Structure 1
């Protein structure tokens, strides 16, 4: 082989490799490059994100069908669970786009990129806001049980849920105004999906979707925990004076402690899933692709755990799953089924 032929072959080989690393090979000078990762890492990421997405969509869809279909489940607390399930359902749905961009190439255009990020901000804010409403509901139910039926009604809960969604849309529209007015304004090449918010908007988002809600949730749940423990201690002290009520007291004691432990798990899981993501946002440090993927997966995994934490602890949910899977909900009058 002559030196000229060898040089030509080397040039063609290098060109083909370069095109293979581009998102759009036909746009040689303006295309973004793919994120070249080991095949095993890419496959693991695909499997992880796909599993979380399918599980999140399935579990939350079961919660949505259960609460919407059975009339006996139309309670104020379950309406909050329904709102949370709807927002978490969309979290699982938009994770499909994260699976598509694993290689670092966006193929749906600037408008879809903007809508994808915009919807993600709204859903996250709504999910966190609904969790705050749930913590308020549990606080009133445990700390002021006598006035709970009058304070927490279906009408008030519906209004609060609607306001939560409306405020999330309004707030995120203000924070993301620049991106919405000119989609793709921060993209440096074709195949990129960049969404940038300024420093002030970032701080506002951090406060309204993390620092503020987390503070409220922790304060309310700590108060609930203290009340639950005090009730358990009071029941223990009464067992010594009233032996005839011993069995009832022990049952109530176990129930209170179980509720306290459950609330502790809720807070811990919520913080574990969300803290890494917002800590990275707060520090503003640059992280590698693998760490970013892990943080995002953990953040989204919270939406998968929410139906497990808030719904699987209820016997009616297990019963509704059996009715849904066996298609008994399609029978006439199934919405009147006794679920409690």
Structure 2
């Protein structure tokens, strides 16, 4: 094999070497990542269209699901960069490398922040049901979701400022995409983007599921003496508890997929983070799973998808369709 064919930039002495893979393995990687990227974008677009189009879905909880779907959809596009990196070469230049990492970090942080908001939402709905409708409104939820996104972008732009000011400063050869985070910045990122939020999520959901279990037992013990009015309240409580369980599954899957990601990005050797890490792919795949979880547990999502795919949403008044 010609030595030049092993280099990302054959005519540069400082060029990185390509990752040489058997043709079958390389093709499998291309097909798999392309499929994950496509499904991630399509599935999350269905969630975005559903929540935005149908007015009955404009609840605080679904607004947070919309925020999560937006970040997941963006992840689907980020996977395209991973497809390019299968051979271990970055051809888009150092500036795009820095922007890619800022986008990746910001989207990741916004996802974690949205998970915290989802946990707070379920905590309020289950533990304080009487004050929940007045305290957790759609407008307030939108405001907190926007604050989460804006703060994520600003924080990680500041965290990676040196990489934006001098792109490629941490690359060891041409064709590499690596960024660096200083020790203090890495500690702050670890605390604000992972340890702190995960701690809050775990504490809130331990409390939520404790209340869910106790309420489920109480409902079972009084099922024979429930009046018609109490039956309606019980149905509402069951709906809230089901939402807590479903979103609990989303949170658990999220934590399983993001723990390796943060272990790699925040504990990388020499403070350098490579864009070709397998931990990134595990985090990305989580974005494909979330809409599938909704499809399994939420009948309204299955109904909305059917209306979208059959173009029924183009009919006048379709936004007022009752999906419940």
TM-score for the superposition, normalised by structure 1: 0.85
Structure-1 separation of matches of 2:307 and 2:225:
46
Structure-2 separation of matches of 1:294 and 1:23:
20
User: How many pairs are equivalent?
Assistant: 319
Task: Please point out which of 244, 249, 273 is paired with 2:257.
Answer: 273
Counterpart of 2:5 in structure 1 is: 20
Task: Please point out which of 112, 115, 130 is paired with 1:146.
Answer: 130
Structure with greater Cα Rg? 1
* Cα offset, 1:309, TM superposition: 2.9
1:112 maps onto 2:96 in alignment: yes
Q: How has the CA–CA distance of structure 1 residues 112 and 52 changed in structure 2, closer, same or farther, with 3 Å as cutoff?
A: same
Q: How has the CA–CA distance of structure 1 residues 88 and 230 changed in structure 2, closer, same or farther, with 3 Å as cutoff?
A: same
Q: How has the CA–CA distance of structure 1 residues 268 and 52 changed in structure 2, closer, same or farther, with 3 Å as cutoff?
A: same
* Cα offset, 1:200, TM superposition: 1.8
Instruction: Give 3-state SS (helix, strand or coil) of 2:179's partner.
Output: coil
Unaligned runs of 5+ residues in structure 2 are 271-275
Structure-1 separation of matches of 2:239 and 2:311:
33
Counterpart of 2:273 in structure 1 is: none
Instruction: Give 3-state SS (helix, strand or coil) of 1:19's partner.
Output: helix
* Cα offset, 1:262, TM superposition: 3.4
* Cα offset, 1:264, TM superposition: 4.6
1:221 maps onto 2:184 in alignment: no
Task: Please point out which of 294, 301, 309 is paired with 1:317.
Answer: 301
Structure-1 separation of matches of 2:200 and 2:234:
32
Instruction: Give 3-state SS (helix, strand or coil) of 1:195's partner.
Output: strand
**Coordinate RMSD, CA, aligned:** 2.7
Instruction: Give 3-state SS (helix, strand or coil) of 1:102's partner.
Output: helix
Q: What does 1:64-75 align with in structure 2 at a 5 Å threshold?
A: 64-75=48-59
Task: Please point out which of 109, 114, 123 is paired with 1:125.
Answer: 109
Q: How has the CA–CA distance of structure 1 residues 130 and 242 changed in structure 2, closer, same or farther, with 3 Å as cutoff?
A: closer
Unaligned runs of 5+ residues in structure 1 are 1-15, 287-291
Retained in 2: the 8 A contact 1:225–1:263? no
Retained in 2: the 8 A contact 1:236–1:253? no
* Cα offset, 1:279, TM superposition: 2.9
Retained in 1: the 8 A contact 2:122–2:244? no
* Cα offset, 1:158, TM superposition: 1.2
Task: Please point out which of 40, 60, 63 is paired with 1:79.
Answer: 63
* Cα offset, 1:297, TM superposition: 1.6
Counterpart of 1:41 in structure 2 is: 25
Counterpart of 2:287 in structure 1 is: 303
Counterpart of 2:175 in structure 1 is: 191
Structure-2 separation of matches of 1:241 and 1:151:
32
* Cα offset, 1:321, TM superposition: 0.6
Counterpart of 1:8 in structure 2 is: none
Q: Deviations over 1:201-237 (max 9, x none)?
A: 2222222221111111111111110000000111233
* Cα offset, 1:185, TM superposition: 1.8
Structure-2 separation of matches of 1:239 and 1:335:
36
Q: What does 1:159-308 align with in structure 2 at a 5 Å threshold?
A: 159-239=143-223, 261-281=245-265, 283-284=267-268, 293-308=277-292
Instruction: Give 3-state SS (helix, strand or coil) of 2:297's partner.
Output: coil
Q: Deviations over 1:226-249 (max 9, x none)?
A: 00000011123324767999x999
* Cα offset, 1:332, TM superposition: 2.2
* Cα offset, 1:40, TM superposition: 3.3
Retained in 2: the 8 A contact 1:236–1:249? no
* Cα offset, 1:280, TM superposition: 3.5
- After superposing on structure 2, the runs of 4+ consecutive aligned residues of structure 1 that deviate more than 6 Å are 240-245, 247-257
Structure-1 separation of matches of 2:137 and 2:122:
13
